[in-house]
Structure 1
Amino acid sequence: MVVGAGWALVGGIVGCLVGVAAGCCVWRLRPGADRKAEGEAAEAARQLPLAADLLAACVAAGAGPVVAAQAVGESLGGPVGERLAWGAAQVRLGGAPADAWRRVGEIPGADALARLLDRTAESGSPAAGPVARFAADCRAEQGRTATARARRAAVQITAPVGLCFLPAFLAIGVVPVVIGLAGGLMSGQ
């Protein structure tokens, strides 16, 4: 869009170059907090299935959900690990499980894990199976997201590739045919 504005305002190739330069400047001047939040959300989405798998393995090995969350949080680190360790520490200190796991639920896509940890803390129900299913669901969602991104990339690459090959097609395929037809018409008179 910025390239089109540069082309409309300045005109020609120089306008396109001005538009590209302006677009790069606008992109670089984005607030850093937005990029940091985007990076943290991407890191959390990447860590979530691994954290759930580790949590399920710890619970299946006999650890309680709070102990498992503490161990996974401390070993994993990052946004998911920090929140798991914080929630486990809050429950160990006597905090309400719903409040303690709410911070885990703030991670995009982790609200089901937070509800599961809260339900397990309240009822004492086994958590290994549901947490393993949650991890499988997270991995499936990541696969669907990656597939959608790849499809969008395939569609978005079509225009630049077409713009690169169209001049060559015209120069090598269409122009010689037109010249041949015009030569035939001119010599036929």
Structure 2
Amino acid sequence: MFVVSLASAVATFALIGGASGVIAASIVGALAVCGLERLSRSGRLGGIGGSRSNSLVLSGSSTPLVVDLIATALRSGQPLPTVLCIVAELAEAPLGPLLDQVGRMLQLGADPTTAWARVLADPTLAEIARAAIRSAESGIRLADDFEQLATDLRAERRGAAEVRAGRAGTWAIAPLGLCFLPAFVCLGIAPIVVGVAHDVFARVGR
């Protein structure tokens, strides 16, 4: 797995070169590791054959991975604007286009608060903007914040998934409860009602 990741990174750097090549190589290496780990866990390592879009484009549910990629590239010493523009090409909307816009605005010298304004307005992505604005002057500190943010996002999504699973379990049990309801009425409630009625009528008859 390490050999494949390293080979992917080296090949990417050889093709692109320069600062952009370093960033792209870091990203490709990280993606290779994540992809191989996922495939090995699912037992499909020998059957890789997906489409280009499925292998290179990160869906909206991959926001924690996008944040991790940004942190990794920042730790390599690359400037945030360049990192954002490159990572943006791997992310689907709305995150991808927003990151690209932020990167281009920062390259033009925009204030961080102004550049991240649109991302800050999106409730699902606002934490990314807040972390970037807080640590605008320090790339290493921003990398630390982004790594922590990625961890928090994963924990939040796990919690949401557990809640959804709990609700699904409740709804799955409900039909089963309805199936047992007639038996409960016949065996649990009906005898009590009959017994009470028998006592009442017996007293009335006296």
Bigger drift between 126-135 and 109-118 goes to 109-118
Q: Percent identity?
A: 33
| 8 A contact 1:87–1:101 mirrored in 2 | yes
Q: Is the 8 A contact 2:80 2:139 kept in 1?
A: no
> Counterpart in 1 of 2:85?
70
* Corresponding residue for residue 97 of structure 1: 112
List gaps (5 residues or longer) in structure 2: 1-58, 192-206
Residue 154 of structure 1 pairs with residue 169 of structure 2:
yes
Q: Specify which of 105, 115, 124 is matched with residue 138 of structure 2.
A: 124
Structure 2 residue 119 is matched with structure 1 residue 112: no
The alpha-carbon deviation at position 71 of structure 1 amounts to 1.0
Number of residues paired by the alignment? 133
Question: Hey, what does 2:71 align to over in structure 1?
Answer: 56
Instruction: Decide whether the 8 Å contact of 2:75 with 2:139 is kept in 1.
Output: no
Contact 1:116–1:131 at 8 Å: present in 2 too?
A: yes
Contact 1:65-1:117 within 8 A present in 2 as well: no
How far apart are 1:104 and its partner, in Å?
A: 1.7
Q: Deviation of residue 125 (structure 1)?
A: 4.6
Residue 170 (structure 1) shift: 6.3
- Unaligned 5+ runs, structure 1: 1-42, 179-189
Shift of 1:158: 2.5
Give the structure 2 partner of residue 83 of structure 1: 98
Change (3 A) 1:107 1:50: farther
Q: 2:88–2:97: 8 Å Cα contact kept in structure 1?
A: yes
Query: Which residue type is aligned with residue 80 of structure 2?
Result: P
TM-score (norm 2): 0.56
- Separation in 2 of the partners of 1:104 and 1:50? 17
- The 5-angstrom pairing of residues 123-142 of structure 1 reads 123-126=137-140, 127-142=142-157
CA distance in 1, matches of 2:90, 2:113: 23
**CA shift digits 1:138-188 (9 cap, x unpaired):** 000000111111112222222222123434x469x94xxx8xxxxxxxxxx
Q: CA RMSD in A?
A: 2.8
Distance across 1 between alignment mates of 2:139 and 2:134: 8
Deviations 1:24-51 (CA, angstroms, capped at 9, x unpaired): xxxxxxxxxxxxxxxxxxx64x232121
CA contact (8 A) 2:79 2:139 kept: no
Alignment of 1:160-179 (within 5 A): 160-167=175-182, 169=183, 174=187
**Structure 1-normalised TM-score?**
0.60
CA apart distance, 1:72: 0.8
- Give the Cα separation in 2 of the matches to 1:49 and 1:118: 18
Identify the structure with the greater helix proportion.
Answer: 1
